[in-house]
Each structure stands twice: as C-alpha cells, then as structure tokens.
Chain A
Amino acid sequence: MSIIGIIRIAFKSLARNKTRTFLTMLGIIIGVAAVITMLAIGQGAKKIVEDQISSMGTNVLMVTVNFTRSTTNVRQAAGSGTLLELDDVFAIRSQVEGALYASPVYNSFAQLKFESQNWRTGIMGVDTDYFYIRNMNTEKGELFYDSDVENGTKVCVIGKTVADNLFGDIDPVGQIIRIRNIPFTVKGVMESKGQNVMGGDQDDSVWAPYTTVYARLLGRRWRNMMIVVSAVSKDRIPEVQQDILELLQNRHRGTTSEEFLVRSQTDIAETASKVSDTMTILLASIAGISLLVGGIGIMNIMLVSVTERIKEIGIRMAVGAGKRDVLLQFIIEAVAISILGGFIGILLGFGASAIVGNAMDWSIAVTPFSVLISVGFSMAIGIFFGWYPASKAANLNLIDALRYE
C-alpha cells in the first residue's frame, strides 16, 4: 500500500490514544527544548566573549610568566623563580622594533573610601601607554600624565562602577579618595567598557601610575607583574611575539622560551571561544542525554503498544496488511511522535531561550543550526528507537497474533 495510506493509518492510531501519544512525546519535547536552550545559551556566551575580546583593544599582546608550564610554580610564588621586571618593559620599548607601546601592569586589591562611602576594588598600576594600548579614554576629567608616573604622584582615574558607588551624584573629578588610607586625587572617570571575558565588570577598577602603586600600595616589594604591549600593526604581531620572547630569554639567564607567554588578542580569543565551545558542547550533551532518554521512552511505550496491539496487528495482517505495512506503520508512529515532539520542543526552546536571555541580559540567539540539529536528532531517534518495536510487530506470526488474548 502507499506510504500516504500508512501515514494515515499511523496518525489515526496516534489520535486514538491521545494521552499516551502526548506522554510519549513529553520526553522528546523536554529533550529538544533543553538542547535548543543550551545551545542558545552557549552561543550567547560565546558572542559575549567575542565582543569583549574585541573591546580589549587592537593589536594587544599580553606578556606573562607561564605559571602553568613548570613545576617551579611553588618557587615562583615564593619569589625565587623567574619574574618579569620593570626593566623588561623598558627593554621591550627600546629593543623590539615592532612594539609601539608597552606598559607594566601591577595588580592589587584595596579598600577605597570617600567621605563615609566604602568600596573594595582592584587597583591597577600602569603607565600612560596602557590607555593607548587598551584604547581607553575618560568620560569626565582627564588621564594622568607621564610626569605623574615619573614623580609617583598620588593621582588616579576610576571606572564608572567605582564612581557610582563612591560618589553617587557628586562629580568625582578633583575629589580626594583614600586608597588604603592614602589620599589620591581623582583625575578622571573612564568611559564604560562593560563586562570582561570572565563576566567581570571592567568598570569596577581604579588605575594609578605604576610608580605610585609600587611605592605606596605594594610597599616596594618586588611583585610579579604583567606587561601589555601593542604592536605597530596586526600583521607584525607574530614577529613582535617572537622578538619579545627572545629578548626576555636573553635578559633572564638560564630560562627557556617556555617560561614566558606572549599572547595576542587572537590567542586569547581562541582560548576563550574554545572554552565557551567546550561549555556549549557540555551543556548540549547534558541536554542531549535527556533527548536520548526521551528516545528510550518512545521505544518503551512503543514496545508496550506493540504488545497491547498484538491482536490488532493480527487483524490487520488477516485483512491484507503485509510485513512492510506493519513495520512502516509503527516506525511512522514513532517518527511522528518524535517529530511532533521535536516541533513543540523547538517552540518551547525558543521561549525558554528568550526567558533566560532576558534574565541574564544576554543576546541569546536560537540559531537555525540548533533547530536543524534537534529536528534531525529527534527524527533519528524516532527511527532508531521505533525500529525495534516495529520489527517486533512486523515479525509477529499471523495466527499467533490473531489468537493472542
């Protein structure tokens, strides 16, 4: 008989038992909705990561000690291993041809105070180059000068979050805040940069001359630092990376090239998007498992349904249904359940994605790819898990099936 006819029979069977059909579908609905939502969340996270990385600035290189590499981790933490020095910054500036700007970055954490307001945040000791490298500018007031760095002046610029929390409606420019009880004059408030790669607030930060930070906040203790460098142009990045590595190796006797990391923005972007891809895959696999469970549910119910309908199958065969007709009928029933369930799941997934997107304030996008994947997957599940019960039905012996009570 024709496929259309069998499809008609399959749908009639499903319609005859709506509750069972819906319950069977439920597993697939939830599975598909979960896959869609998880993929959407993953994609959303990835997009945010990408946006943030491009907001880091152009042609940026980050020079750090490779802590992950060696077993000397503990030694380094104790201060006896290889660490970057201020002189490395000057050497990069003067000796690496393709390096346009270079700035040390000292990271610290401190309590800030303005009048009765308190705020705890990160303090970055940087050179004026830093603002060029990161392509940052003030929204109010101005940046500090080279002379501030030279003289170790107690000045700083603050991020928007810090300004909001310490000053509220007051104009911060020209005010004096206390960082670890040391008075600093606020020279400016930076333009907002939003969240960073890890979801941290980039506006929740204070930038001060590295000399001041080093002398006043770090107590002149020799601390590990990071160096940020910008290359003159994008295509010279690999060359600059290589030159910096060689320079550092020469300057620090007895080190190997593996002891330092010079990461470009693309390196970081790749790592970050690899991380978010991994996260997406992880989320989707967990959701995929629920889809699989849904499929097993279909098989389960279909098996029960075959047993329940042995007599029906016998009757159908007695009036002229062939093995193929019965096989197709049951497979189509399974596929119809999974596709219909998949369809409802997609709608639900769209809804759930929108809700999650709203709640987290992410631009969460359901991609055609994820819809395609779920539809294909649920169809495959229907065929895969429908096959066994269907072939069981088709291979029933006619007389035995008819006599079955």
Chain B
Amino acid sequence: MSDLLIRTENLVKTYQMGEIQVHALRGVSLEINKGEFVAIMGASGSGKTTLMNLLGCLDLPTSGEYYINNIGIHEITPTELTKIRNQMIGYVFQNFYLLPRTTALENVELPLLYRNKMSHHQRIRKAIEALTTVNIANRAKHFPNQLSGGQQQRVAIARAIVNDPMFLLADEPTGNLDTRTSLEVMTIFQKLHKEGKTILLVTHENDIARYAQRLITFRDGRIISDVPNKNPQNAEYDLAHLPKLPGDEE
C-alpha cells in the first residue's frame, strides 16, 4: 500500500470577472504522501490560496482531477464533499475565522457538532484535548476578542485538528502574527507533524518555509520548483533563542 495521500492531475481554476478570465491555476499536478510537511511558496497572486481552497474542498476546479486517498473529489456529491470537509481536512486560515461571541471551546467544538453520533460530553472532552495539544486549554472559556492573535490562531488550529483529519491545510497562518507568535505557531505545526500529521502550509516568508521538509514554489498559477528541504529548522529551538535571530525582514 502506497503512502500517497493527495494527488492532483492538471488542476485548472479560471475565475470569470465579467469579460476577463483570470487564470488562477494553469494546470497543477502534485503528489503528497502521508506524513509530509510541505511549504508552498510564491508571490502574491500566484495561485497559492486558490490551490489550498481546491485541496480543502472549499471550491471545485474548473478542470483537472483531485484525489484524496484515491477518492476522486471531482466526481462526488455535495453531501459527501461536506463530510470530507468535516472529517478528513483541517483548515487553518490567515485571519483565524473564529466565530465571534463564541468561546474558544465552542469554536473548537464546532466541527464536532456537524458530526453525527457524538455526545455532548464526548465533544467537550475532544475539544479540551485539542486545546491542550496547542497549549491554550486555559483560555477555553474566553471569547475570540479576549485573545491575542497568536492565541486565536492556536484555537483555530485546535479546531482544525479536533476531528482528527487526514491532513492540515494552513493558508498563511502566520501572516497576521509577529515573529515570536509566528514561531509559537510553527512550533505547534512541527509538533503536530512529529505526531504524524500531514501538513500543507502556504507562506511567502522564507523564514517560515524553513521549518517544512519540502518546498513547492508557485508562479503564475504553475509550480516552478518542488524541492526537499534537506535541513529543516527547529521552531522550538529558534523560539528559545529568539534574540539571536535577525529581526523582521519584511
């Protein structure tokens, strides 16, 4: 049995903006194995988010094929798609996207609510577990507006992992965070990776990409390079030695 988790075949996404066609993806073929930690790089507008949305089943391609575990996503029903979003994929957004006026715990509980056959007690237990994994269980009763950006992103990661998905997609998860909190978040991703999670992470910062094992670079809706990172950095170590790091490059 192969370790192949994700396979895309010539994915094309074209947006129609009135008269103009925007070619966001111009044929992306990609294979990702279980347990990989991939960073997707590229300039703004190169199609990274579009790819993530397709991989996350949030959107459908204009053409091309997409398989998760050999299930053809392009040929299943909306109901099955909903189920895949809920149970196979964990999505972390740049802007966290937590529900306002809803506690951290309830936010994390959310994906479990859309799952059948789970008692209230079970849900709470799983949500607390996920919050503990990302070190934020002590803020369970807080509302998003009572949390810092880094804390909100950790809650969002807890929400992404609570259903024990097959892989995590993170679209610029550190884009709105300062260096220190970015490192905290990357520490968590590395920890999750070590525990066996497959992770795809979009970033346009080289500093962040250094923590992944494989680097894919996009330009104009195409992959222009796909190389292994022979020497991934340790985020936890860097966090501990933060003063020695160069300041924000951007």
Contact = CB atoms under 8 A, between A and B. Distances in A.
B125 interface: no
Contacts of A311: 97
B218 interface: no
Nearest to B79: A322
A319 B111 contact: yes
Given A1-B114, A311-B97, A319 B159 contact: yes
A391 to B, nearest CB: 15
A318 B114 contact: no
A399 B61 CA distance: 13
Given A1-B116, A399-B53, A399-B58, A323 B110 contact: no
A398 B58 contact: yes
A206 B161 CA distance: 92
A14 to B, nearest CB: 12
Given A319-B110, A322-B114, A402 B85 contact: no
A323 B83 CA distance: 12
Contacts of B100: 312
A215 to B, nearest CB: 88
A292 to B, nearest CB: 31
Interface string A296-312: 00000000000000011
A402 B97 CA distance: 8
Nearest to A315: B97
B113 interface: yes
Contacts of B102: 12, 16
Nearest to B87: A320
A233 B144 CA distance: 83
A8 B85 CA distance: 21
Nearest to B86: A320
Contact of A318 (B83, B97, B101): B97
A315 B99 contact: yes
B82 interface: yes
A325 B113 CA distance: 10
B78 A323 contact: yes
Interface string A369-388: 00000000000000000000
B142 interface: no
Interface in A320-379: 320-323, 325
B4 to A, nearest CB: 24
A295 B106 CA distance: 31
A322 B82 contact: yes
B85 A319 contact: yes
B9 interface: no
Shortest 5 CB-CB distances between A and B: which pairs?
A320-B86, A322-B82, A320-B114, A319-B111, A16-B101
Given A317-B82, A320-B114, 17 more contacts: A1-B114, A1-B115, A2-B116, A5-B114, A12-B106, A17-B101, A315-B99, A316-B99, A319-B114, A319-B159, A320-B87, A321-B82, A321-B114, A325-B114, A398-B59, A399-B53, A402-B93
8 contacts: A1-B116, A12-B102, A12-B106, A318-B56, A318-B97, A319-B86, A319-B110, A320-B86
